[in-house]
Structure 1
Amino acid sequence: MTLTFSGSPVGSEVFTALAVLAISLVVLLIIRYYLPLRSTPAYLLVPVFFALWLPACIVILMPIDLASSARTDDEKTRGIWLPDRLLLIWWRITYWLTFTLTWFILPILAEYSDSGYREPRDKILYSLRSNAQYHLMVFGSGIICITYVFIFYGASLYSLKAMVMALAYCWGLALAIYLMGHGLVAIPRRLFRNASISGRLRRIQSHAPTVYEKLEDAEATLEELEVQVFELGKRKTGSAAKFQDWIDDLVDLANLPESQPRHAPRRPPTDDSRILPTVITQKYMADLTRRLVRAKHARIRYLNEWDRLIRSAVQTQAILDSAASKKLDFGDASPHAGFWDRLNLLTPYTRYLTYYHVIPYLSLFAGGFLTLCSLSIVWSELLKAAFPSLSVIRLTVVHHWTGDTGQVGFAGQVIAALWLLYMCAAALTSITEVKVWRGRALVRRNTAHESAFWYASQVARLSVPLSFNFITFLSPEVYTKTMFYHFLGAFIQGTTASTWFDYLFPVLILVPVLATLFGLYGRVRRLFGFGGFDALAAGDDGDEETASRNAYGTGTWREGRDLIERELNGTSLRGRRAENAGLLSGRSAVPVLSVPRVEGRASPSPMRANRPAANTSARRVGATAVREEVPDDENFFEGIGHRFKNTIDTLDTPKWFQELGQGIKKPKWMGGGGEEAGGSGSGSRPGLPGRASSDVRRWFGGGEGRIRL
């Protein structure tokens, strides 16, 4: 099918406009998934939108540039192309806007939102001061590069511009290569391991103790800060008087009437450790506000992670149990579930076939295919400097050769876009896994503003280096003709040092690839005792298998299984504390677990025998009876006694027994007859219910002080 008119780019321009519009809609939906659009300020939405939209446009801009500079002679195979001038303007706007967002706008706004101060002026000053320190360190480390460029290439504006662009590219490439190398192994391995349903459940259970411990730590940290805010709210005089409005805002932010923090422990008068300082300053108030906001977002983050883990465990257990009856039913959807989760189009049998057979085989196929893609990228990185003709990416993108001149058609454009998309996905996925980012995280509908700015800046920072690294996989006869190379490549390869860096540094992709493939992070962590260093634990799934072979109670899958079952049964210690504190009421603003109770294979508590099980397993479809389990330390006679007691407790009283005695009525002369006797049918005095009358004059038909003879 011909997508362009002969000699005119009108069809390509229309296609490009529709593609850009579709990308804008997707980016807006992504932002909506992590941030509430109505309550999020515009100073956050607009920069974050452009920081995500510009890298997404590069995925289609790069293939268009390749096809425009190396158009095929046959119009039927010609791809989407645009004029050179339009491409050059587009690249200039994309690069410099991305550069400005990455190095200036987003960092300033991130520190502005995380400053903790109350007034905008104080926030701006704090942000400028923090970013000035960072840029001074960067400038200090770049003095050697400036001296090198000015000595060998002369002091000029062109040399300064080339140095700035080359340094920005080198820093972005170093981060991109590490993250991409980690993702190229982690993504296929995750697909392979998810193909095993029992293995997936075991990994979920092994991960549960870590998440639960982090959630408890986050709640304890938040509670300590709420105690400080509570004590600060009781101060009405002294240095705290001038910050009274600020203190009231902190009390409202901490939700103290709902969360009910514990009072501070009493300390001896000679103890130097105090909850509050003697003099309340503006710096202390800003630091307390900053720590309180971070603690609240950390708690929401781990609540969300724990909620997703519980739901995954419930669904995986249901899939595993459906092998017996060949039927699968997940039960009713949660009120907080999305549209696709509430959509129910499959029958129980087709759902069983889909989740038990089809999806695992698709995971294996996708894992194998992405493994080949990862090997091709690593192979191309290693050989692009010495043997560029052996690059797999070059052979798949450039299909048409006329002598030494290569041409890129529509099929090559599509393949190039997919290669670039997979490289970006591998790098961006690793950002959320390698947790060395000061507790930042993406949380559905509750992402902190500072975290949103930071992640958006990383997406913008990695897009341009990955794009230029991608085109170097192709033949020099192809990529040197692109507008992207004329705009950026000439500056990057303008010096001998940057040229060698561009060709030799990507070889180091073997370091993160081998480290992730053979579990080097976990071995280093165990060797040096970095138990709390999450960067070394990220992506090291081998630790979960090692932990499953350890003893009970040391963070194994058995402990995770018990934690999940207690959470589902409502018997966990954290759940009882939260219920007593009022956090599970409708007024709570934090996410609440709404997973149906399910029946597991084992329970550490005898209370489980008295709780009904939800229909989330195929073995329990149509069953309403409660399965009772006998504890291991219970003998035969105790078991009979417990069963007899449960039978008596659940026995309904017969109706004839409830109505026994209601058929015998008192005679009217004894106070019976209801309203005619002026009583309640039991001899009670009018106006005094439930009180028997002791007046004998009523026996003779008298009342109100009169006796009838």
Structure 2
Amino acid sequence: MTMETATSSSSPSPVPSLVFALVALLCISVVVLLILRYYLPLRSTPGYLLVPVFFALWLPASMVLLVPIDLASSAMADDVDARGIWLDPKALRVSWRIAYWLTFALTWFILPILGEYSDSGYREPRQKVLDSLYANAQYYAIVFGSGALGLVYVLISYGHFSESLKSTVMALAYCWGLVLAIYLMGHGLVSIPRRLFRNANISGRLRRIQTQAPRVYEKMEDAEMDLEDLELQIAELSRRKGGSASLFQDWIEELVDMTNLPESQPSQAGILRGSGNQSPLPNVITEKYLAELTRRLVRAKHARSRYVDEWNRLLQDAVETQAILDSAASKKLDFGKASPSSGFWDRHTLFTPYTRFLFHYHLVPCLQIALAVLLSLASLCIVWSELVKGLFPQLSVIRYSVVQQRDRGKDQVGLVGQVVAALWMVYMCAAAFISITEVKVWRGRALVRRNTAPESAFWYASQVARLSVPLTYNFMTFLGGIYRDTVFYDFLGQLINLTPLGKWFDYLFPAFILLPVCATLFGLYGKIRRIFGSGIDVLEEEDGDNGDWPGAAFGTGSWREGRDLIERELNGSSSAIRARRADPASAGGRSAPILSIPARPGRGTTAPPRGGRGGPTTPFGTSPTAGTTAGPAATPRRPQANTSARRVGRAAVVLDEPEDENFFEALGHRFRNTIDTFDTPKWLQDIGQGIKKPKWMGGGGGDEGLGRGSSSSSGGGAGGGRTDVRRWFGGGGGEGRIRL
């Protein structure tokens, strides 16, 4: 009796581990709420959206906590001090059942139905539910058809019916999630370290931002034009007072309230707005037509808000990166005054201009390179473990980093192994989840700060829930035979390995991770886009030379066009106007600076068309007639930025020079401006007068001299008597190039 009492008193108690697990779950809940607050306005978001999305994020995060606890509980160390966090097997089984089946229900039923419900254009909840079920009918038909085929296969292979249905459902859901998880994780394992390496180069980061600017700006303009077309269509619909439109006057008035058309003289709005591509109104207005029109209007508003937010963030990144790059000369860095809507860390800082320069210019690039090297090694270990876990599990690097203690030939997992296992799982999940935001095949869905569309929030939450279980079980297979003793394997793993097909699929398919890894590492997506056209946008690659590939011209996304576009946009307040018009809350962060460059007196200029659109322009960025006929009294509509230091011809001018340039930079600028404005001497123009052009140079053998024969074509706007000797080598005088 005394020995039993001593043994029971010396046995460890799971109460401390239980308290730690509850505190960890509370911390996870706080982090999930902060994520939701970042992408959704919590106060105005309905409960049917917040609660499912919260659990869709909270349950995968809790699995990152359950896996190390399950490993330590099944492979408990004999040393009490090295055991770590462990729980009773019964509590673990209940936790896994709740986490798995709730995630399963959210992934396959709750979130898809609620997503289509929020995207439906009908007004009544009953009609929204019916529309959502109808939209998901094809999806469920494919799912149930695949499940029926799998059930037949399991019945033939296993021979019993008691576990066939449940095992088929769980195995098929796992296989489909594993296919998507391996592809996305393979892309993210390369994308994350490469992004850190590239961002460490400040000038290269600015070049990539400038390369992305024309594409983002064009998409923002297209989104605004699509929205304006729909608004004009609704304005035209509101003018119908009789017929079938009279039955839906309340609905039409709600649509008018959702638009931004002027209340006075709405009939003249079509002259000023829209692209003229709006669909004609049908003769009979039906409920289905109004529902589809409402759906399109809501999608267009969210698309416009998405690209406005993306454009504002791009401008902010460009300004801050340019400021960091320019601070190398003055050794001082100042981002300007933060806006009231900025975050706490943007409005309060302990840095001085000099320490801020040291932090952003020297310390941050070094940290990014160090982290990129570390994550590159981690990616290599994950890929290697995926390749060898089926045939040579003892060669898995992840196994040796998690399974640390071995006592009497038994693998054990302690507290250090639990921490390492949690870090491995966090990196694998981050690689897969980040890739979701980069893949461009999701019907225009996107995450927007404080203004994410409800349907997009449901869809992204469902993808996170769908990938959590395959990634969790896939990580446990890295650990060799130790994972077969866990509660999770007893709950899910044995059902996946129930048939030979499921077992071989689980071990061999992860080897296909080499396909997305090699495709991302060697730029296969960019090559496909260049071969089949720029309209192919499967994955968003951060390629700094995207605009310099053969065939790309000015206006197709070159970094030079992006640089000019950003400078022109910062000269005015159009970005701030768009942000206020889209959503005041979506334009958070530091306000974009506004450059005010005064127009030169006595010279009338007009702003060039933004984004490379509009009529023809001269080399100076103005229309052919604006700079010559306006006269001194003409005033520019918008101040023009000094977008390039190159000016060809005698009309080159030098705008305001920066005040912080050093002596050598100022001397180089003056020397370059002197060379650019240098006119051809008279004696050089007269060379060749009276000399006949030889036949091998294309001369016709007439009496016309070389200077006279080329003056009409090479004089340009300088007069008929000018001659440019550069035409001897095949180069145009107006282009300033010599072609050999």
CA distance in 2 between counterparts of 1:500 and 1:568 reads 57
**Counterpart residue number, 1:533:** 536
Amino acid at match of 1:506: P
Distance (whole Å) between structure 2 residues aligned to residue 370 and residue 587 of structure 1: 37
1:597 aligned onto 2:594: yes
Pairs within 5 Å for 1:39-50 = 39-50=44-55
Structure 1 residues 328-347: aligned runs within 5 Å: 328-347=333-352
In the TM superposition, residue 403 of structure 1 has moved relative to its aligned partner by 4.0
Which one of 66, 82, 90 corresponds to residue 85 of structure 1? 90
Matched, 1:22 2:24: no
Work out whether 1:470 is the aligned partner of 2:492.
no
Tell me the residue number matched to 2:407.
402
Q: Distance in 2 between matches of 1:315 and 1:106?
A: 39
Shift of 1:144: 2.5
- Distance in 2 (CA, whole Å) between partners of 1:303 and 1:274 is 25
Distance 1:139 1:629, change over 3 A: farther
Cα distance in 2 for partners of 1:104, 1:458 equals: 13
Farther-moved stretch of structure 1 (146-155 vs 19-28):
146-155
The one-letter amino acid paired with 1:110 is G
CA deviation map 1:205-236 (0-9, x unaligned): 00101101110110111111111111111111
Separation in structure 1 between the aligned mates of residue 134 and residue 568 of structure 2, nearest angstrom = 48
Once residues 411 and 261 of structure 1 are traced to their aligned partners in structure 2, the CA distance between those partners, rounded to angstroms, is: 71
**C-alpha distance in 2 between matches for 1:359 and 1:446:** 30
The within-5 A match list for 1:608-623 is 608=641
- Measure how far apart 1:401 and its partner are: 1.3
Which residue of 2 is the match for residue 69 of structure 1? 74
Match of residue 688 from structure 1: none
Q: CA deviation at 1:132?
A: 2.4
Q: Matched residues in 1 for 2:582 and 2:145: separation?
A: 54
Partner of 1:519: 523
User: Is the Cα–Cα contact under 8 Å of residues 39 and 447 in structure 2 kept in the other structure?
Assistant: yes
CA contact (8 A) 1:77 1:409 kept: yes
Corresponding position of 2:132:
127
Residue 543 (structure 1) shift: 5.2
* SS, match of residue 436 in structure 1: coil
CA contact (8 A) 1:51 1:456 kept: yes
Question: How many Å separate the matches in 1 of 2:463 and 2:369?
Answer: 31
Q: Alignment partner for residue 319 of structure 1, among 301, 324, 347?
A: 324
- Between the aligned partners of 1:213 and 1:488, the Cα distance in structure 2 is 48
C-alpha contact (below 8 Å) 1:314/1:598 kept by paired residues? no
- After TM superposition, list the pairs within 5 Å mapping 1:149-548 onto structure 2: 149-154=154-159, 156-257=161-262, 263-264=269-270, 275-476=280-481, 478-529=482-533, 531-535=534-538, 537-539=539-541, 541=543, 544=546, 546-547=548-549
CA 214–629 in structure 1, closer or farther in 2 if over 3 Å, else same: farther
Give me the whole-angstrom Cα distance separating, in 1, the residues matched to 2:453 and 2:38: 13
Match of 1:569 in 2: 571
Q: Deviations over 1:572-627 (max 9, x none)?
A: xx66xx96xx9857997874993113599x99687447999999x9769xxxxxx9
Contact 1:548 1:557 in 2 (8 A): no
CA distance in 2: counterparts of 1:8 and 1:265, whole angstroms: 77
Distance 2:195 2:136 in 1: 38
TM-score w.r.t. length of structure 2: 0.78
| Separation of aligned partners in 1, 2:657 and 2:350 | 21
Which residue identity does 2:535 align to in structure 1? G
SS in 1 for 2:450: coil
| Worse-superposed segment, 12-21 or 134-143 | 134-143
Residues 79 and 272 (structure 1 numbering): CA distance in 2 closer, same or farther, change over 3 Å? closer
C-alpha separation between the residues in 2 aligned to 1:103 and 1:587? 33
SS at match of 1:151: helix
What secondary structure is seen at the aligned counterpart in 2 of 1:516? Answer: helix
- Deviation digits for residues 66-90 of structure 1 (CA, Å, limit 9, x no counterpart): 0011111112211100000000000
For the aligned residue pairs, the C-alpha RMSD in angstroms reads 3.3
Counterpart of 1:300, as a letter, is S
What one-letter code is carried by the residue in structure 1 that aligns with 2:386?
A: E
Q: Could you list the per-position Cα deviations for residues 441-469 of structure 1 after superposition, in whole angstroms to 9, with x for gaps in the alignment?
A: 00000000000000000000000000000
Query: 8 Å contact 1:206–1:548 — kept in the other structure?
Result: no
Structure of greater Rg: 1
Report the AA paired with residue 464 of structure 2.
V
Does the 8 Å CA contact 1:599/1:613 hold for their aligned counterparts? no
Instruction: Quote the Cα distance in structure 2 between the aligned partners of 1:352 and 1:296.
Output: 39
Q: Which amino acid letter does the alignment assign opposite residue 139 of structure 2? A: Y
Matched AA of 1:595: A
Cα 1:330–1:629 shift into 2, 3 Å = farther
- For the 8 Å contact 2:547–2:559, the answer to whether it is kept is no
How far does residue 258 in structure 1 lie from its aligned partner after superposition? 7.7
Q: In the alignment, which residue of structure 1 is the partner of 2:561? A: 559
Residue 152 of structure 1 and its aligned partner are, at CA, apart by 2.2
What is the deviation of 1:344?
A: 1.6
Q: Is the 8 A contact 2:389 2:396 kept in 1?
A: yes
For 1:545 and 1:272, how far apart are their aligned partners in 2? 29
* Larger relative contact order, structure 1 or 2 (CA cutoff 8 Å, min sep 6): 1
In 1, distance between residues paired with 2:10 and 2:27? 23
Per the TM alignment, residue 130 of structure 1 is displaced from its structure 2 partner at its CA by: 1.6
* Structure 1 residue matching 2:35: 3-state secondary structure: helix
Cα deviation, 1:357-397, whole Å, max 9, x if unaligned, reads 00000000000000000000000000000110000000100
1:337 is displaced (CA, Å) by 1.6
- Which position in structure 2 is the counterpart of 1:692? none
Contact 2:309 2:586 in 1 (8 A): no
Q: Which runs of 5+ in 2 are unaligned?
A: 1-8, 598-618, 623-638, 643-652, 663-668, 680-740
Could you tell me whether the CA contact under 8 Å between 2:147 and 2:168 is conserved in 1? no
CA distance in 1, matches of 2:425, 2:586: 38
- Partners of 1:206 and 1:555 within 8 A in 2: yes
Change (3 A) 1:595 1:619: farther
Secondary structure at the residue paired with 2:478? Answer: coil
- State whether residues 599 and 614 of structure 1, in contact with CA within 8 Å, keep that contact through their aligned partners in structure 2: no
Q: Does structure 1 conserve the Cα–Cα contact (< 8 Å) formed by 2:181 and 2:471?
A: yes
| Offset, 1:338 | 1.4
Structure 1 pair 464–555 and aligned structure 2 pair: CA distance change class (3 A): same
| Contact 1:227 1:262 (8 Å CA) reproduced | no
Counterpart amino acid of 1:594? S
Aligned-pair distance for 1:151? 1.8
Q: Secondary structure at the match of 1:475?
A: helix
TM-score (norm 1): 0.81
Q: Structure 1 CA distance, aligned partners of 2:64 and 2:657?
A: 46
Question: Following TM superposition, by how much is the alpha carbon of 1:341 offset from its aligned partner in structure 2, in angstroms?
Answer: 1.6
1:667-698, CA deviations, whole angstroms, 9 ceiling, x for partnerless residues? xxxxxxxxxxxxxxxxxxxxxxxxxxxxxxxx
Select 1:8's aligned residue among 13, 17, 20: 13
Query: How far apart are the structure 2 equivalents of 1:380 and 1:272?
Result: 54
CA distance, structure 2, for counterparts of residue 614 and residue 29 of structure 1: 45
- Code of the aligned partner of 1:503: Y
For the residue of structure 2 that corresponds to 1:40, the secondary structure is coil
Q: CA deviation at 1:628?
A: 13
Following superposition, the deviation at residue 313 of structure 1 comes to 0.4
Structure 1 contact 326–618 (Cα < 8 Å) conserved: no
1:59 and 1:507 map into 2 onto residues whose CA distance is 23
Greater shift in the superposed pair: 145-154 or 457-466: 145-154
| Aligned residue identity for 1:442 | L
